[in-house]
Amino acid sequence: MSSNRLLRVAVALALAPAAAFAQDAEPQQSGLQEIVVTAERREASLQSVPIPVTALNEEALIDRQVLESRDLERFTPSLKMLSNITSPTNLSPSMRGPLQQDASLIVADPPFGIYVDDVYLARLNGNNITLADIERVEVLRGPQGTLYGRNTLVGAIKFVSRTPGKDSWLKGSIGVGNFDQYRGSFSAGGPLGDTNWAGSFSALLTHKDGTFQNVNPAASRELGMERNWATRAKLRYMGFEKLDVTFSMSYANSKNDSQQLTPGITPGVPANQRFTSDDIVTGVFTVPMNPASFLPLGTFEVYTPVIPGGGPGPIESLPRGETKQLISSINISYDMGWGTLKSITGYVQTKDFFSTDFSGSGGIQGANRLSVDQISEELQLVGTAFDDRLSYIAGLYFFNEEGDQSFGWRAGPLPFSTNRIDSKSTSYSAFTQLDYDLTEALKVTAGVRYTRDKKDFDFTFNGLFPPVTPAFGVVDLTNTYTQTTPKVGIDWTVPVSGSVDSLLLYATAAQGFKSGGYNGIAIASFNDARTPYGPETNWTYEVGIKTDLPDNRLRVNANYFIREPRILTLNATVEVAPGLFTFPVQNAGDATIQGLEFEVTAVPVDNLTLFANGAFITGKYDRLDPTSAPAQAVTLFNIDKPTPPQTPDYTVTVGFDYGIDTAVGRVKLGADWFFQDAYITGATNDFQVQPYNLGNAFAAVSFGDNWTARATVKNLQNREIFATGSRGLGGFIPMPRRTWLLSLEYSLD
């Protein structure tokens, strides 16, 4: 899609008050309610914040069936949360283009910040967070380094759990569904007697199994098991009027069969030609380990290799995965009158294990065992001055992470190699942002951030098979990266009258930064591990509009951005010999990615909400290193013009909610439909996912004062869609099949 066409669409959206769209707000009886967010580290109305923000409250999360992080992509423009090939708990995230494919690595940094109660999560292991007791989710797009403590190259996702106070609540639900699904949750909180303390506790248990058929009789068991349980406890002290202290601790445990990859071939697609998701013929070996004998089968049929005795390294006899994560924090705020001083102290421990088959047919197996600890401290000073015309935030941030990760690799029946990573990262940063009201309606913003990251990387490689050379090696690297990143902006709260209830126009220019790092995937050689890749920066220029139209019946939020990543870091797949691959992270070059994002809400009549959100994006490379994977794709796959990954021309979600009072109780119905154009999955440009759409629906009946019965369905069409995979390894990941759930909920609030 051309930039001129994108601009025309942006203008049309901004000027079309008849548009009947919606996204993130639940209606009152006769209009849209105000949404309060903390995107700028202080409470403010969503419509007054000059940042593209998607905000989903607790009710919206339930109605939209946002049960885990992966579901956010349906309702957040430009966000993609792809399944990683290692484990269902690990997602390969992208936003506005940049993608982190090697999400299971201890040295892989996310392209955007992920925060739980303002504590940054450095590891992508376990980033497919199963949502429990979440009060609100906010997704910010664009660099946010002048507001947040850690990495915000292209945005941030904030998970905000409920904090106890003077009001009590009690909530619980149980549910059952197909594929041996069951789900139970509990949440309670409130004041602890007549003291100055308040507390809360929540728990969640989910289970699913049997979504895949195992065609290997030697490994007779159902596949697709996912069992998650999580708890969270909070303790809050309110004994002093100006002091607020909250202690929080959460623990999550996720067990699964590791990632299920279906075996596949691409018949009729030459080796020097790009293939698409429609080209894949799934199959399974009719004779184990006989690659010449394929039988086309259904998408959800898989082959489980059996490895007697397991090994080398952490490889086990059968595929398995488990992720454990502990998050604890102390959040302290003190109101000094002229400003509020805040301290956010966090500790995160992540342990991750997977042993899986990357080919879907027993061709290549790998396993990982990771243990990592991080501590962080963020100090903020937030306040106003000059008769509240100046709003400011100033912060200092410290981050330290240490851990290790061991890998084992196997090629068919033969042990291939093992390796171990010991890593350490230390980061210091200072940031500030000032907002000044030139007039009652016109505000200017200026901010700056300084970051210093130091990283240590110790790597040991041991080749176990004769073709693997060199057979043994050690890498010891230390690198320091510093960057100063500014932000400027202006916004105008336009005086309104008549049919326009509110109108905000804004423009920003901000630079994002992601430090360099290391190549940690080494199967047949450790050559890539010897060379670190450099940091990536990007300037993002943005204009936007937020408006509420007649009687708060229509809300239109839209923005147009131009993002210019420089020294872009991309994960590549490189075939160094027939059937032998390496997976380096490359500084591929420069690119320009631009697009229109929109989130609009309409309540045309009482009790009916119509909604749509989405993005129209175009991306191109401005400069490519001739040795990089995108540049090589021109020769390797006869591609005229390589495309940056994860930049479909369009993604759109439309849907509705409708509620009506009946003799039984209040009945609420809703559905959403997600549409996505074709897109390139990775830097190599050899695999293109074809356009697809998915539908979801729910029906709920509230009866009595506290009870609700609910029925939900995801993937209504039971579409068999390959979202990612590897022609070289031969394994492909289908999106989840149709699932339904019946639940009963109780709420006393």
Local structure of residue 630 (DSSP, 8 states): H
* pLDDT at position 218: 81
Distance CA(5)–CA(11), nearest Å, equals 10
Angle at 112 between CA 247 and CA 98, to 5 degrees: 165
Question: Is the predicted pLDDT of residue 528 greater than 70, yes or no?
Answer: yes
Q: What is the DSSP string of 379-404?
A: EEEEEEETTTTEEEEEEEEEEEEEEE
Per-residue pLDDT, 442: 98
Cα 517 to Cα 535: distance, rounded to the nearest angstrom: 8
With cut-offs at 50, 70 and 90, classify the pLDDT of residue 288: low
pLDDT at 15: 38
**Closest Cα partner for 557 from 544, 570, 574, 542?**
544
Half-sphere exposure of 587 (CA within 13 A, CB side): 14
CA distance linking residue 652 with residue 672, whole number of Å: 10
Residues 6+ apart with CB under 8 A from 556: 13, 14, 16, 17, 19, 21, 545, 546, 547, 549, 598, 600
| The predicted structure's pLDDT at residue 286 | 67
pLDDT surpassing 50 at residue 27: no
Residue 703 is predicted with a pLDDT of 92
When comparing pLDDT for 299 and 668, which is higher?
Answer: 668
What sign for the dihedral angle of Cα 85, 86, 91, 94? negative
The amino acid that residue 591 corresponds to is A
In total, the chain counts a number of residues equal to 749
d(CA 172, CA 379): 36
Q: What are the structural domain ranges in the chain?
A: 3-162+169-748
d(CA 209, CA 243): 47
Separation between Cα atoms, residue 52 and residue 522, nearest integer Å: 39
- With contact defined as beta carbons under 8 Å apart, do 98 and 154 qualify? yes
Q: What are phi and psi of 22, to 5 degrees?
A: -165, 170
With 60 as the cut, is the pLDDT of residue 24 above it? no
Which whole-number Å values give the CA distances from 324 to 126, 127, 224, 367, 405, in the listed order?
A: 8, 11, 19, 16, 15
Residue 112: HSE in the Cβ half-sphere, 13 Å Cα cutoff = 28
Q: How confident is the model at residue 129 (pLDDT cuts 50, 70, 90)?
A: confident
Query: Residue 3: is its pLDDT beyond 60?
Result: no
Q: What's the average model confidence in pLDDT over 379-390?
A: 96
Residue 296: pLDDT band by 50, 70, 90 thresholds?
low
> Which of 159, 105, 86 is CA-nearest to residue 327?
159
Name the residue among 187, 103, 681 with its Cα closest to residue 114.
103
- If one compares 78 and 28, the residue with the highest pLDDT of the two is 78
If you average pLDDT over residues 149-176, what whole number do you get?
93
User: 3-162+169-748 has which CATH code?
Assistant: 2.40.170.20
Q: What is the mean pLDDT of residues 169-173?
A: 95
Higher pLDDT: 483 or 295? It is 483
Quickly list DSSP for 492-538: EE----TT-SEEEEEEEEEEEEE--B-----SS--TGGGSPBPPEEE
Question: Among 178-182, 299-303, 526-530, 737-741, which is the least confidently predicted range?
Answer: 299-303
User: What spatial distance separates the first Cα and last Cα of the chain, rounded to whole Å?
Assistant: 48
Q: Which tokens belong to 464?
A: 């176990």
Percent of the chain at pLDDT above 90?
A: 69
Question: Can you tell me the distance from the alpha carbon of 698 to that of 175, in angstroms, rounded to the nearest whole number?
Answer: 14
Give all strands of the β-sheet with 155-161 in edge-to-edge order: 53-57, 134-141, 155-161, 113-116, 119-120
Candidate from 60-64, 248-252, 553-557, 577-581 with smallest mean pLDDT: 577-581
**93-107, 285-299, 449-463, 730-744, range with the lowest pLDDT:** 285-299
The mean per-residue pLDDT over the stretch 549-574 comes to 93
Query: What are phi and psi for residue 390, nearest 5 degrees?
Result: -110, 125
User: How many helices and strands, by DSSP H and E, does the chain display?
Assistant: 3, 46
Between residues 377 and 293, the one the model is more confident about: 377
State yes or no: cis peptide before 296, omega within 30 of 0.
Answer: no
Whether the model clears a pTM of 0.75, i.e. scores above it, the answer is yes
The predicted structure's pLDDT at residue 100: 83
Please report, rounded to a whole number, the percentage of residues in the chain having pLDDT higher than 70. 94
pLDDT tens per residue, range 330-365: 999 999 999 999 999 999 999 999 999 988 888 889
What is the structure's pLDDT at 482?
A: 97
Q: Which residue has the tokens 């015309």?
A: 389
Compute the mean pLDDT over every residue in the chain, rounded to the nearest whole number. 90
Q: 217 pLDDT band (50/70/90 cuts)?
A: confident
pLDDT in tens, 656-697: 999 999 988 999 999 999 999 999 988 999 999 999 999 999
According to DSSP, the residues that pair with 487 across neighbouring strands are 447, 510
